[in-house]
Chain A
Amino acid sequence: MSSGKVVGMILAGGKGTRLKSLTKKLAKPAVFFGGKYRIIDFPLSNCANSGIDTVGVLTQYESVALNTYISNGSNWGIDGNKSVTATLPPRQTEEGANWYMGTADAIYHNIDFLERSHAEYVLILSGDHIYKMDYSKMLEFHKDRKAKLTVACLNVSLEEAKRFGIMKTDEKGRIISFSEKPKKPESTLASMGVYLFDYKTLKSELIKDHKNPESGHDFGNNIIPQMLSSKKKLFAYPFSGYWKDVGTIDSLWEANMDLLDTKVALDIYDSEFKILSADTRSTPQYIGPYAHVKDSIINQGAFICGEVHHSIIFNEVTIEKGAVVEDSVVMPNTTIKAGAHIKKAIVGPKLVIEGKHAVKKETDKVILVNN
């Protein structure tokens, strides 16, 4: 990356309640995705591919499994001689012990990490979004406009806009208003939750916010409005690729299915921008003599002897002869026994689905099959 030290801070502490039992013992960013990955592989790989060599991962809910997975960052190569990957769960300090009370609060409690890293720019990311993005282009944009904060944004429909942070900009892209999850959206320009700050500005805004007892310590609800009210230079950076928040069972299923849709602009097969992940040490993927496999993505270590149509199959999944899997996602180490018929479902990891398991008819909803 061009001069100016960028530190990536990935917010990965959320429980992700809407993913139901998938996050019972697992933080949302650690949930499996795309046959091989976990959700957080995407922002981490984006950092690696953008030349960011210092990354903090802010963990809180069920942090042990996630911290173990992140480890020293070697799976994403962010463990080189100038690189640091640090997991940053809440901790006890001289001032006491606190849980992270909001996105901004989590960063506030790690200002010391940013100081030690000699950050000049801080890139705040979410650990639960699926997208490929070269952040170095956003940094150039940020520098060109001498912005204090640049918010990556994309165009959404008016209906969707109610779920996002929505901004209005002037003709040069400068943000003039911002509202989090507006009931009546004034525009369709939505924040992706990707924020690039000048470090000095970020630090003073976080300290100011921390002192405000009224604040919810959230970037969208508090920090951005606080900066706009003091006339800081905030810019919207237009992003045009694939981006998806996978916060619900439906959206997680949809994002998986999007990998099978050649019209969707999320290319995990581009070798110049690889999505990196932990190696699974699997045996070769085996497709048996009576298998039918169509329109699917299947990872190494899978054993396919039955039928797989339009599905995403993870490593060490066994699909027995006589089992049928359609429009579904089957997570690692699960066995689908002969006779089972799975349709439009997310099947959790380490399960045995018995032969009598059949899908309910005429259902249009995505089913979660999990313990």
Chain B
Amino acid sequence: MTKAIGILNLHNSPKLGPLNTSRSVASTSFLGRYAFMDFSLSNFSNSGIDKQAILVERHLRSIIQHIGSGHAWNENTKIGGLTILYDEPYANTKGYNHDVNNLLENSWYLKGTVGDVVVIAPSHIIYQVDFRPLIEDHVKNHHRISILYHKIENAKTTFIGEDVATIDERGFLRDLTKNQGIDNSLNISMQTYIIDKEVLKGMLQVAHKTSSFLDLRATLKMLAKEMPIYTYEHKGYIRCFDSIENYFKYSLELLDFDNFKELFNSNWNVYTKTYDTPPAKYGPDSEVKSSFIANGCIVKGKVKNSIFARDVIVEEGAEVENCVILSSSYVSENTHLKNVVCDKEARILHEKDLSGAKEKPLYIKRGDIV
């Protein structure tokens, strides 16, 4: 059986606005229960890829805090493992802090880890995929580099800045260009690659010798013209989380059960860190509709179309609608919130009526008292 290594690539992650001032998309709370990185790591886990690494660009602390021992994503905790790779010397040097340099700086990882192919995936594009049949096909057909793409119909407003894959009739990649929002119907590269390990090591050298600023995406664009790079089409749920507006929109969209079913199915666990919080508690006068409520929450007021992370408290008489409330926040009595994204540990004590727009949610900073 082909042995695969999974690398979660946090370079090239966009920012979810103010949510990402001190954390990356990867460790941002999603659906009240997950961090974004859980989805790619679980894709690895569920595909039997037990050796995993994370290429960290910045905000190392919040990544480490979420990962812990890494056992949540590993099948065998000794033969498998989750390694954090960080480009210490260049972390603060703009232009140099990219995935190719990170892998070169940590070249011991690819050298010392048993594997035939490397699967690279991002954390801000959320999808579900079983890599096993793709890896099998990749090996059987002697592809050396393969990329995953998704045909989308709304590229004028989504996946902006992501790579557009130009694919020939035989399924090989011809070019990668940036989506500038001009056309709607495009094949978007999912920044998800299957690469033979030895080929990847060679690629890193080629990139380095060409330009110190060449990252993985740019190297693939360059190589597409020189060698066969195969493409696999992905179907099913996919979203690119690239702004707080889209974060808000896509999160709430999953409250529609039909959308939810597309992302989650019972054969596909999404693993995450456990916090040992008690189940959610609802008071005698609570009214909750169309919401995800995480454990540890205590809800005494009204909640509609909202997502609560762990340990959120909503007091009596409060009304929360169309909101995403991150963990340990507090909504005091008789407070009305609408279209609000409330970061962790915020306390809504004095303002009794806060609302943003559906397209532009009001953001409340982490730990703030308002």
Q: Which of A284, A289, A293, A298 contacts B33 (CB 8 A)?
A: A284
Contacts of B103 in A (CB 8 A): none
Closest B residue to A278 by CB, please name it. Answer: B274
**Quick one: given A34-B279, A293-B288, A300-B33, are A285 and B294 in contact (CB under 8 Å)?**
yes
**In whole angstroms, how far apart are the Cα atoms of A361 and B289 in the complex?**
30
Contacts of A34 in B (CB 8 A): 278-279
**Quick one: given A287-B288, A287-B290, A291-B289, are A296 and B282 in contact (CB under 8 Å)?**
yes
**In whole angstroms, how far apart are the Cα atoms of A94 and B137 in the complex?**
57
Majority-rule SS of A interface residues? loop
In the complex, which residues 271-313 of chain A have their Cβ closer than 8 Å to any Cβ of chain B?
271, 274-277, 279, 281, 283-300, 312-313
**Quick one: given A284-B31, A291-B289, are A297 and B280 in contact (CB under 8 Å)?**
yes
In the complex, which residues 213-235 of chain A have their Cβ closer than 8 Å to any Cβ of chain B?
none
Closest B residue to A259 by CB, please name it. Answer: B281
Majority-rule SS of B interface residues? loop
Contacts of A341 in B (CB 8 A): none
Q: Are A286 and B257 in contact (CB under 8 A)?
A: yes
**Quick one: given A281-B269, A286-B260, are A298 and B279 in contact (CB under 8 Å)?**
yes
> Within the complex, what minimum Cβ distance (angstroms) separates B324 from chain A?
12
Closest B residue to A309 by CB, please name it. Answer: B284
B32 is an interface residue with CB less than 8 A from chain A? yes
Q: Are A290 and B289 in contact (CB under 8 A)?
A: yes
Which of A34, A284, A287, A288 is most buried by chain B, counting CB atoms within 10 A of its CB?
A284
> Within the complex, what minimum Cβ distance (angstroms) separates A255 from chain B?
15
Q: Which of A277, A293, A298, A299 contacts B276 (CB 8 A)?
A: A277
Contacts of A291 in B (CB 8 A): 288-289
> Within the complex, what minimum Cβ distance (angstroms) separates A280 from chain B?
9
In this complex, the interface size class of chain A, counting residues with CB under 8 Å from chain B, is 20 to 34
In this complex, the interface size class of chain B, counting residues with CB under 8 Å from chain A, is 35 or more
Q: Are B278 and A275 in contact (CB under 8 A)?
A: yes
Contacts of B109 in A (CB 8 A): none
B293 is an interface residue with CB less than 8 A from chain A? yes
Q: Which of B260, B276, B282 contacts A295 (CB 8 A)?
A: B282
Q: Are A269 and B298 in contact (CB under 8 A)?
A: yes
Q: Are A298 and B292 in contact (CB under 8 A)?
A: no
Q: Are B289 and A298 in contact (CB under 8 A)?
A: no
> Within the complex, what minimum Cβ distance (angstroms) separates B367 from chain A?
17
A35 is an interface residue with CB less than 8 A from chain B? yes
**In whole angstroms, how far apart are the Cα atoms of A73 and B225 in the complex?**
55
Contacts of A271 in B (CB 8 A): 311
Interface string of B281-312 (1 = CB under 8 A from A): 11111111111111110100001000100010
**In whole angstroms, how far apart are the Cα atoms of A292 and B311 in the complex?**
21
**In whole angstroms, how far apart are the Cα atoms of A297 and B303 in the complex?**
16
Contacts of B278 in A (CB 8 A): 34-36, 268-269, 274-275, 297
Contacts of A288 in B (CB 8 A): 257, 289-290
Q: Are B270 and A283 in contact (CB under 8 A)?
A: yes
**In whole angstroms, how far apart are the Cα atoms of A113 and B280 in the complex?**
40
Contacts of B307 in A (CB 8 A): 284
Closest A residue to B42 by CB, please name it. Answer: A281
**In whole angstroms, how far apart are the Cα atoms of A281 and B32 in the complex?**
14
Q: Are B295 and A287 in contact (CB under 8 A)?
A: no
**In whole angstroms, how far apart are the Cα atoms of A283 and B38 in the complex?**
12
Q: Are B295 and A300 in contact (CB under 8 A)?
A: yes
Q: Which of A269, A287, A299, A312 contacts B289 (CB 8 A)?
A: A287
Contacts of B284 in A (CB 8 A): 294-295
Q: Are B281 and A269 in contact (CB under 8 A)?
A: yes
Contacts of B31 in A (CB 8 A): 284
Closest A residue to B274 by CB, please name it. Answer: A279
**In whole angstroms, how far apart are the Cα atoms of A34 and B296 in the complex?**
13
> Within the complex, what minimum Cβ distance (angstroms) separates A27 from chain B?
23
Closest B residue to A281 by CB, please name it. Answer: B269
Q: Are A299 and B279 in contact (CB under 8 A)?
A: yes
Q: Are B271 and A281 in contact (CB under 8 A)?
A: yes
Contacts of A274 in B (CB 8 A): 276-278
Contacts of A281 in B (CB 8 A): 269-271
Closest A residue to B305 by CB, please name it. Answer: A289
**In whole angstroms, how far apart are the Cα atoms of A223 and B190 in the complex?**
69
Closest A residue to B265 by CB, please name it. Answer: A283
**Quick one: given A300-B294, A300-B295, are A36 and B289 in contact (CB under 8 Å)?**
no
**In whole angstroms, how far apart are the Cα atoms of A2 and B257 in the complex?**
53
Contacts of B282 in A (CB 8 A): 293-298
Contacts of A294 in B (CB 8 A): 282-287
> Within the complex, what minimum Cβ distance (angstroms) separates A132 from chain B?
12
Contacts of A276 in B (CB 8 A): 276
Q: Are B32 and A284 in contact (CB under 8 A)?
A: yes
25 contacts between A and B (CB under 8 A): A34-B279, A35-B279, A269-B296, A271-B311, A274-B278, A275-B276, A276-B276, A281-B269, A284-B307, A287-B303, A289-B290, A293-B286, A294-B283, A294-B284, A294-B287, A295-B282, A295-B283, A295-B284, A295-B286, A297-B280, A298-B280, A298-B293, A300-B279, A300-B295, A312-B279
Q: A284-B292, A294-B287, A298-B282 are in contact. List 20 more A-B contacts (CB 8 A).
A: A35-B278, A36-B279, A268-B278, A277-B276, A279-B72, A281-B269, A281-B270, A283-B33, A284-B32, A285-B295, A287-B292, A287-B303, A288-B289, A289-B290, A291-B289, A293-B288, A295-B282, A296-B282, A297-B279, A300-B295
- 7 nearest interchain CB pairs? A279-B274, A35-B279, A284-B292, A299-B279, A268-B278, A295-B284, A289-B290
Binding site for B on A (CB under 8 A): 34-36, 268-269, 271, 274-277, 279, 281, 283-300, 312-313
